[in-house]
Amino acid sequence: MASILTTAEELHDALSAGRYADGGPVRVLDVRWRLDRPDGRPDYRSGHVPGAQYVALDRDLADHDAPVTEGRHPLPPLNHLQATARGWGIDAGDTVVVYDDAKNMASARAWWLLRYAGFTDVRVLDGALRAWTDAGYKTEKGDAATPAPGTIGLSYGALPTLALDEVASFAEDGLLLDARAGERYRGEVEPIDPRAGHVPGAVSAPTTENVGGDGRFRSPDDLRSRFRMLGAEDGMSVGVYCGSGVTAAHQAVALTLAGFEPRVFAGSWSQWSNHPELPVATGPEPR
């Protein structure tokens, strides 16, 4: 778990020392984004972990030149992500810590994307910004100083994924989890995507149930029990999607903590629902 989560105390000590004892020099990323308030920079400027670089999820962690059939947050081109990560000052051997102000529902996208691109030491600040402030640590206002350009080299493919044409068969033969709220899964509401419902065969598993009221992830044992009740078995690769590939990454963190191998469908419901030839299920049951 040490390579996935970090506590506020551990981060504070690492920033004071300039590096993690079990890692490298620290780079902190503030990934504040919400569906109803995608620009998190004003909140970032009002107070962030000292030295944290602001990450604009829509711009830095997604490709918005892609057609709508690719979903709302398709993966950015590799060269774009690499240039952006170098702009954050990241070098090989660094330890990157990500957080947001919403139980890490957005920052997990940076965790997953950097790991998918081959950067191994990425950690999530457990409890998000609240854990930092609750511990009594100071925040910094305005924009952090621009770091010297990093030299990190990235390459996609380090984690397993699901492509659009693989999802239906995976849902038929394996376990595909839908990380959205239950009412969206059931098709009762759909605030943004063109069709309501879920991928036939997918099981409802709202990612909000992976954390407690304080925003910290439940214990690995608790998470393992939860996913077993949803149908996961030892050694199983578990597929996961959400609305647009953001909170699916949060589910991927929880699955990894629980000892399962997550396969993220990055296009998620926003991609599936933009293909009218693909079937949609509604109601509380997978099919």
- Catalytic residue ranges: 242
- Give the separation between CA 78 and CA 282, rounded to whole angstroms: 36
- Give the separation between CA 69 and CA 97, rounded to whole angstroms: 32
**Which residues have a Cβ under 8 Å from the Cβ of 268 and sit 6 or more positions away?**
71, 73, 241, 242, 243, 244, 245, 248
Give the residues across from 241 on adjacent strands. 178
- Give the separation between CA 148 and CA 27, rounded to whole angstroms: 12
Decide: 269 and 204 in contact? Cβ < 8 Å. no
* Dihedral class, residue 187 (left if φ above 0, else alpha if ψ from -120 to 50, else beta): left
